[in-house]
A and B are shown apart, each in its own frame.
Chain A
Amino acid sequence: MSELLTTVDGRPLKAALASAERTKRIRAVLLVMPLFIFIFFSFLYPIALMLYRSVENPLIAQHMPNTVAILENWDGKEVPGEEAFAALAKDLVTAREAREIGKVATRLNFETPGLRSVITGSARSAGKWKPPYKEKFIDRRKEWGDLTTWVTIKRLSPTITSVNYLAAIDRQYNVDGEIQMIGSDYQIYVDLFMRTMWMSIVVTVSCLVLGFPIAYMLASLPLRHSNLLMILVLLPFWTSLLVRTTSWIVLLQTQGVLNDLMVWTGIINDAQRIQLIFNAQGTVIAMTQILLPFMVLPLYSVMKTIPPSYLRAAESLGAHRFLAFWRVYVPNTLPGVGAGCLLVFILAIGYYITPALVGGQDGQMISNMIAFHMQKSLNWGLAAALGGILLGGVVILYWLYNKLVGIDRLKLG
């Protein structure tokens, strides 16, 4: 029978080892915890809060409680009766006195444009009215005799709603409660998502096409030469985004350096100056330059590990230089190509600053629309829903990146 191994003080070795392992594990976790708690409260929780905003809808239920209660049993087939109008009058007057009527009107207006004035106008008059209300309401604004108005109020009654997400993909409920596309004049978000994807793909491909040759040059030159050229990649990487965006404006605008150069060399004459910026083209050019280092660095670090002897071996076996390059070298660079493309695409799809400054009308991306709804239209629910969809896309890509490349392999310079 084998004797049980123990430590000096008589504990079984297995237990002592397990407890030592546990201590080490706890130590590691304790080191990570401060940052994790910090990130949790100032990043993860705020993002969750934003996602909650995209489905939360407390305004109507809170400020129109009587109407909401009556409408709960309403079948939605025809305009409700006097009872509902009485409740409406009561709610409107209370909400107006509490100075909340503007918020209610704005919220309903996001859903059915035109309702703002209907609500605020009727709320002003309703205080002076005596029952019965139905006729007076419809006299004041004919929209009250419209089924759509009531359907809108009923749809926004629940405190959790999907209307923001539907609006974010250009859809809405019709009068019968079915989901349908909104009128073609109002369809913007699906196109915008498509354009954002398309522009990000163009930027990613441009980065790959421009980045591949220089990464190859950097990887194959002796270090003391390549270090010098590497500075040309790293310097823009360290230079402020706003500085680079400003320079692109200076370079590309119609009275800018590039147009001047073309006029001076006689490629175009003074009347034919080309509009290179404040459009989608400008956004793509500026973003390609800004994201190029994120393509070159992963490509370079992969190319650095491919032994030059592979190419020599292929050539000595009779392959032509180009064939050897295409069949032997390029497949070896694929991990770098994948890493670079994913990273550039992830960063491009959420870009805000550059499209906002040089995008003009048709160079705007989805982030710009989110910022617009956050700061200008104040439709926070829709902004949050657009953000939620964008975030979903980025998280999937990030997961893919982590799976294929490994986040710990991310290198910065």
Chain B
Amino acid sequence: MSQISLPDHAGPVETIWHWLYIFICAFVFLFLIAPILVIVPLSFNAEPYFTFTKEMMSLKPEAFSMRWYEDFMAKEIWQRSIGNSFFIAFCSTILATVLGTLAALGLSRSEMPYKGLFMGLLISPMIVPLVITAAGIFFFYATVNDYIPLTGTYLGIILAHTVLGTPFVVITVTATLSGFDHSLTRAGAMLGADPTTVFFKIIMPLILPGVISGALFAFVTSFDEVVVVLFVASVEQQTIPRQMWAGIRESISPTILAVATILICISIVLLATVELLRRRSERLRGMSPG
């Protein structure tokens, strides 16, 4: 029996409190989800307005249209931005996942010296304000540009996004490893497997859900990042968030709502994947399936 259900002997004050509590919670959940609830239907608005028209409220089919999606498909700049975003996010995700997973494996070993300090430093890109990170990277790229051109290049953006994505990989993989039974590794070694075999045959399959979750976090981080892109990218590396940023600052065209809806669909898919992986991971570690 849950704690929040009303007991049978509840008096009127408690009953009012109870319903007030339910109402407050409903309001907060609505507050959380409102931006998504509003933007999706409005992206199908046949008129170039950012509000529900009378025709939309009465659900007339002619009030809805795909014109903003067609506009998105037709505009070369959006197509290029989406290509750039996927390319940059894909490359930085791979880098972040490899580096972050290795580090998490090291950090979760009991022999690791100065564990707290290293963990703190490796997570810090997530905590340091983005503007400061972007400013630092801007100065750094400017000083090394003569040797390695990084400002206004794909490589520069990918490296910066990798920095921002690694903390998520480190955190999720470390969390997965916290329930890892190290006697499995020893058993593997005792049966004659070398460390590489142990890693790929025993450790990897067990921590894979965590690794994939971390990779998805890193992907989303890069896919949604705009500050670093504003500071060090050139027009050539135009990404979706930067194009949206420009659109919001100048005059919002309803095309942005269509793009936003597409991004919401992507985040739903990613969230569902991560949830499934989390449950699988908990099952593998013998915890109760959530």
24 contacts between A and B (CB under 8 A): A25-B112, A31-B105, A34-B99, A36-B121, A36-B122, A43-B137, A46-B137, A47-B136, A49-B136, A211-B28, A231-B275, A240-B224, A242-B244, A246-B39, A292-B28, A308-B3, A352-B130, A352-B227, A353-B227, A367-B129, A371-B230, A390-B132, A408-B119, A413-B213
- 9-residue interface stretch from B63-71, B75-83, B248-256: B248-256
Does A398 count as interface, using CB distance less than 8 angstroms? yes
- Flag whether A202 is at the interface (Cβ < 8 A): no
Of the listed residues B4, B121, B132, B163, the one surrounded by the most CB atoms of chain A closer than 10 A to its CB is B132
**Which B residue sits closest to A236, measured CB to CB?**
B32
Contact between chains at B245 and A242 (CB < 8 Å): yes
Q: Does B21 lie within 8 Å of A247, measured CB to CB?
A: no
Give 15 new A-B contacts, CB below 8 A, not counting A28-B113, A50-B132, A213-B21: A25-B113, A28-B111, A29-B112, A33-B106, A35-B103, A38-B163, A43-B124, A45-B140, A47-B132, A47-B133, A250-B252, A289-B32, A371-B227, A411-B171, A411-B175
A357 is an interface residue with CB less than 8 A from chain B: yes
For the complex, count residues of B whose C-beta is within 8 A of A.
96
Contact of B125 among A43, A229, A247, A350 (CB under 8 A): A43
Q: Assess whether B131 is interfacial by the CB under 8 Å rule.
A: yes
A302 on interface, CB distance cutoff 8 Å: no
**CA A387 to CA B130, docked complex, whole Å:** 10
**Contact residues of A: prevailing secondary structure:** helix
Query: What's the Cα separation between A255 and B52 when bound, in Å?
Result: 11
Q: Which A residues from 207 to 224 make CB contacts under 8 A with B? A: 210-211, 213-214, 216-217, 220-223
Q: In the complex, A229 Cα to B290 Cα: how many Å?
A: 13
CA distance A46 to B271 in the complex (A): 33
Q: Give 1 or 0 for each of A222-261: 1 = CB within 8 Å of chain B CB.
A: 1100010101111110111111111111110101110010
Within the complex, which residue of A33, A38, A220 is in contact with B2, where a contact is CB–CB below 8 Å?
A: A220
Q: Decide: B118 and A36 in contact? CB cutoff 8 A.
A: yes
Tell me whether A349 and B31 are in contact (CB under 8 A).
no
Residues A249 and B106 in contact, CB atoms below 8 Å apart: no
Q: Say yes or no: is B138 at the interface (Cβ < 8 Å to chain A).
A: yes
> B109–A28 contact, CB under 8 A?
yes
Q: CB within 8 Å of A: which residues of B?
A: 2-4, 14, 21, 24-25, 28-29, 31-36, 38-39, 42, 50-52, 99-100, 102-103, 105-107, 109, 111-113, 116, 118-125, 127-140, 143, 159-160, 162-163, 166, 168, 170-172, 174-175, 178, 213, 217, 220, 223-224, 226-227, 230-231, 241, 244-245, 248-249, 252, 256-257, 260, 263-264, 267-268, 270-271, 274-275, 278, 290
Partner of B3, one of A42, A220, A227, A398: A220
Bound complex: CA of A72 vs CA of B100, how far in Å? 52
Are A374 and B138 neighbours in the complex by a CB distance under 8 Å?
Answer: yes
| Inter-chain contacts of A124 with B (CB < 8 A) | none
Instruction: Give A235 to B102 CA distance when docked, in angstroms.
Output: 29
CB distance from A91 to the nearest CB of B (A): 26
CA distance in complex: A28, B178 (Å): 16
> Which of B14, B50, B132, B140 contacts A253, CB < 8 Å?
B50
A163 to B128, CA, bound (A): 24
Ranked 3 nearest A-B pairs via Cβ: A350-B129, A31-B106, A247-B35
Q: How far apart sit A387 and B270, CA to CA, in the bound complex (Å)?
A: 34
Interface residue tally on A, bucketed by range:
35 or more
Check A47–B264 contact: CB distance below 8 A.
no
Report chain B residues within 8 Å CB of A334: none
A203 CB contacts on chain B under 8 angstroms: none
Closest to B125 in A: A43
Question: B175 to A210, Cβ gap below 8 A?
Answer: no
B232 to chain A, nearest CB (A): 11
Quick check: is A394 within 8 A (CB to CB) of the other chain? yes
For B257, the chain A residues whose CB sits under 8 A away are: 246, 250
Residues of B within 8 A of A412 (CB): 168, 171-172, 217
Asked whether, in the complex, the Cβ of B28 is within 8 Å of the Cβ of A210, the reply is yes
- B168 to A240, Cβ gap below 8 A? no
Given A242-B226, A257-B52, A43 contacting B278 (CB threshold 8 A): no
Question: A32 to B103, Cβ gap below 8 A?
Answer: yes
Contacts of B223 in A (CB 8 A): 240
With both beta carbons as reference points, the residue of chain A lying nearest to B223 in the complex is identified as A240
- Give the distance in Å from the alpha carbon of A184 to the alpha carbon of B46 in the complex: 52
- For the complex, give the distance between the alpha carbons of A350 and B109 in Å: 33
- Select from chain B the residue with minimum beta-carbon distance to A321: B14
In contact, B39 and A247 (Cβ under 8 angstroms): yes
Closest to A220 in B: B3
Query: Residues of B contacting A32 with CB < 8 Å?
Result: 102-103, 106-107, 112, 118, 122
Residue A182 CB within 8 A of the other chain:
no
